[in-house]
Amino acid sequence: MTAETAAAAALTLFLAGLVAAFGARSWIHRRRTGSTGFRGLSGAPGSAEWWGGIFFAAALVLGAAGPALALTGATAPIALPAGVQWAGLAVAIAGFVGVLAAQAGMGASWRIGVDTTERTGLVTSGMFAVVRNPIFTAMLTALLGLALLVTTAVTVAALVCLLLAVEIQVRLVEEPYLLRTHGPAYARYAQRVGRFLPGLGTLAPHPSQADE
């Protein structure tokens, strides 16, 4: 696979993934529920929500810029074996498919961002029975694949920014919200299901549950 072919494939896949995961998904969600599901990733400057949004936006920009710069010749990707590139393409496709499948699995509870005044159903079935945040796991998988397909400082930076965004959003924003909203139901779920990978990142039982 030539560098130009790899860059073109990565850019096409990334843009198609954005359109499907955000544009098309929001449109479908609105048709079914009357809401786009978009709650934003904003917050007061310096807050966890704000930093999560900053890193997420940076990941999107860098994710597109990496293959685009490689395609125009502005940057030269590291020459990896063709087998690694093809594996990266397969991983990226699997990641994007996983994003769409996990989004569909959330049904009416799917949201982009958190509205602390809103209560949605707790989804624990399907992919959510394996990990608590399969959408984010799939996003990271997709971007890892793209970084293997087109390995530059920009694509690696995109992956790092997404990882930071996901860690901040999940640990500091979503998990506290879910614990406040769903209480013991979410706590029990988080004690048995890993955060991003099966068995990893489970929450320890609260001391008050020791005798339950």
Dist CA 135 CA 200 (whole Å): 16
Q: What is the pTM of this model?
A: 0.89
Residue with tokens 């390995």, as numbered in its chain: 151
The structure tokens 């449109």 sit at 27
Q: What is the pLDDT of residue 30?
A: 80
| CA atoms lying within 13 Å on the CB side of residue 148 | 20
What's the distance, CA 111 to chain centroid?
Answer: 12
Instruction: State residue 42's pLDDT score.
Output: 66
Rounded Cα distance between 182 and 86, Å, is 42
- Give the pLDDT confidence of 57-108 residue by residue, as tens digits: 999 999 999 999 999 989 989 988 999 999 999 999 999 999 999 988 888 7
Please report, for the chain, how many H helices and E strands are present, in that order.
8, 2
The residue type of 142 is A
At residue 44, φ and ψ (nearest 5 deg) are -60, 140
Weakest mean pLDDT among 31-35, 96-100, 124-128, 134-138: 31-35
Rounded distance between C-alpha atoms, residue 161 and residue 104, angstroms: 25
Beta bridge partners of 113: 40
Tens-digit pLDDT profile for residues 146-199: 999 999 999 999 999 999 999 999 999 999 999 999 999 999 999 999 999 999
Taking alpha carbons only, the member of 97, 175, 201, 178 closest to residue 142 is: 97
pLDDT interval class at 203 (50, 70, 90): confident
Domain regions of the chain by residue span: 3-33+46-110+125-192
Residue type for position 85: Q
Give the percent of the chain with pLDDT over 90: 62
